[in-house]
Structure 1
């Protein structure tokens, strides 16, 4: 499955629902939206990720403290890749509600070596030089290692009026903290109940009135839900560490969030 490199800014809203609610809402959405190219031929596509963090889980602990600025590094593939297959290494930042996502294509073996050594691979035509530089800087800030494998099945829709609005439904979210290699296979423990779906509304601007009315019609309300964050909280509960989370030491978090790079129209590439 071939996905384009992404560089964009957007707002994201998340909603949890059961299968019955998904079916009702999905039927209504088809009046305004259409399936993306891959989902027109397949019910779902599988997304698999490796999340990186420090030995003391600095990034996820900072994120759960709900700061104005947070960031993460993850490696993403569509399906189960081989070592020479194309994957995506990406930085995802969030500042006062605005999500900035920047990623570059790499071969899987190149991505592993990049994160492990901190040395960017030799530039190839399929790579994004600017993103490589940003990830290099990120790797110098933090001592990172693979911490979590997380995958899910996705159904995605685009607005018929504007490609600026996208809605995704994720289900069968599975994770593991062992065999932290994408090529090891698509399996893990369930994060949600079997009947649950996570919907994400992704928009560059405000959502249209028709969508607001549909959300109200179906009694859906925004929730704060991070896949990595909820897995981490589940891990803490399993360890019987119920004490309130505290943010990492101040010196481990940048005193001021770096200036977000706002891509130009030429830089912005829509998700296919």
Structure 2
């Protein structure tokens, strides 16, 4: 059982296809593709997000609090067996700094932990610490599978600073049914056609050369959360359905 810990700032940018195609060549002097993105290939990420029946987690998150956290189950391939490996992650954000703690489990272990409170057996100290944190979270939050979010990703690392990373996500598909990773990659795209979500992940300041490129291409920072956007779309759709029913009654 292994663990990875991440602590960084994250900045979000929404790009058109034209901006994306102009930006990629400009990166190559200072950055190199993620090992999983050689020859221009993307890789896939699949997630199940957990929330309360009343969506308290995402409601709190989009209120822009000083501190927030969320639990998700992540995989980089569609699981075919209960023994397939997945990542159970607790993502925290404190005053803009993202701290992500995650542990590798089998799909079966993760489901038993979340649904029945059966703790997986940790093989090392750090794994035990993360399991403790997740167990504490689950003891204070009555959460259940709420949203599936899957997407494809193209990623780069700076040649002289591995802590400076860029990711480009597209085809961000979401759904509120079939809430298992095994069900596969399908749903409604929360991005507009030919749109990309770029995330800048860094421990310190953004390099000057990169800020100049962004300025030249008129790419500007924005606030965007995949789960947050999905939730707002869901609420808007629900409101439309209510209004439609009222119109039917009025007629």
TM-score normalized by the length of structure 2: 0.91
Secondary structure of the 1:240 match is helix
Matches within 5 A, 1:19-30: 19-30=17-28
Report how many residues are paired.
239
Partner-residue secondary structure (3-state), 1:48: strand
Alignment partner, residue 141 of structure 2: 142
Of 54, 57, 65, 1:56 maps to 54
Corresponding residue for residue 78 of structure 2: 80
**Offset at 1:127?**
7.8
> Residue 58 and residue 98 in structure 1: after superposition, are their counterparts in 2 closer, same or farther (change >3 A)?
same
Q: Which runs of 5+ in 1 are unaligned?
A: 242-272
**Corresponding position of 1:190:** 189
Q: Which residue of 2 aligns with 1:130?
A: 129
Alignment of 1:1-272 (within 5 A): 5-41=3-39, 43-82=41-80, 83-124=82-123, 128-240=127-239
Equivalent position of 2:249 in the other structure: none
Which whole-Å CA distance do the structure 1 matches of 2:204 and 2:161 have between them? 11
Query: Given the superposition, is the C-alpha separation of residues 126 and 182 from structure 1 closer, same or farther in structure 2, using an over 3 Å criterion?
Result: farther
2:19–2:219: 8 Å Cα contact kept in structure 1?
no
Cα 1:192/1:109, change in 2 over 3 Å: same
Q: Which has the higher helix share?
A: 2
In angstroms, what is the RMSD of aligned CA positions? 1.7
Deviations 1:201-239 (A, max 9, x none): 000111111111111111111100000000000000001
- Secondary structure of 1:61's counterpart equals helix
Give the structure with higher Rg (CA).
Answer: 2
Provide the rounded CA distance (Å) in 1 between the counterparts of 2:130 and 2:39. Answer: 32
Deviation string for 1:77-104 (max 9, x for gaps)? 0021122111100011111110011000
Task: Name the CA distance, whole Å, in 1 between partners of 2:89 and 2:107.
Answer: 13
